Chains A and B, each alone.
Chain A
Amino acid sequence: GAGVSQSPSNKVTEKGKDVELRCDPISGHTALYWYRQSLGQGLEFLIYFQGNSAPDKSGLPSDRFSAERTGGSVSTLTIQRTQQEDSAVYLCASAAQLNYGYTFGSGTRLTVV
């Protein structure tokens, strides 16, 4: 597609439920990144994919968080047993090559109530 697409744009969920966030990167971009943006805390790196493999999972906050990417394209970020502190905007970005900079999606605003 023309840009990075994320869905849903907004998600309200009850504490303890599982959620799946989807990212559809720009066609041909091999690198895909997930970040979390909390109010006043900037962007927190979560995980990065090169193709379908994730060389760097160091940012995942806990084992409740997982992500996968299939076909070198769409990625899903799954949060199990959501907690209120998981409330944030989850941003996805893709890149053909890092030194070209990322292209970001508009994000998914997750609210855990």
Chain B
Amino acid sequence: AQSVTQLDSQVPVFEEAPVELRCNYSSSVSVYLFWYVQYPNQGLQLLLKYLSGSTLVKGINGFEAEFNKSQTSFHLRKPSVHISDTAEYFCAVSEGTGANNLFFGTGTRLTVIP
């Protein structure tokens, strides 16, 4: 069965510092990978996705993520965070073999400190 692990429930970081939010998944087949962001009192917004091809994926708001098949990871990074990046971040995975459901991690709360 699919599972997604976000090891860090909360990540505080100072403004303009780099950040990495970790995501690991379990699957024995090819996968699609996603990161979503949820700002306070809003729905989830797609940040970026990996389907195939280059393992380094760039998304909106300066975020990027790298797919590492051997480590079954899809960590999210940003070289310099802003106050406006304070939000909840969710990693999600779907089997790329025709499954039609996304499995989500429990989320990581990123708090950017001025």
Contact = CB atoms under 8 A, between A and B. Distances in A.
Question: Is the A/B pair a real complex?
Answer: yes
Interface in A86-110: 91, 93, 98-99, 101-107
B106 A33 contact: no
Contacts, number: 55
Contacts of B104: 35, 42-43, 45
B94 interface: yes
Interface residues of B, number: 24
Contact of A104 (B43, B100, B106, B107): B43
B54 interface: no
Interface stretch (B45-53, B61-69, B71-79): B45-53
A105 B107 contact: no
A4 B42 CA distance: 12
A48 B100 contact: yes
A67 to B, nearest CB: 14
Contacts of A31: 100
Contacts of B32: 98-99
Interface residues of A, number: 24
Nearest to A50: B100
Contacts of A56: 100-101
A104 B45 contact: yes
Contacts of B43: 4, 91, 104-107
Interface of A: 4, 31, 33, 35, 40-43, 45, 48, 50, 55-56, 91, 93, 98-99, 101-107
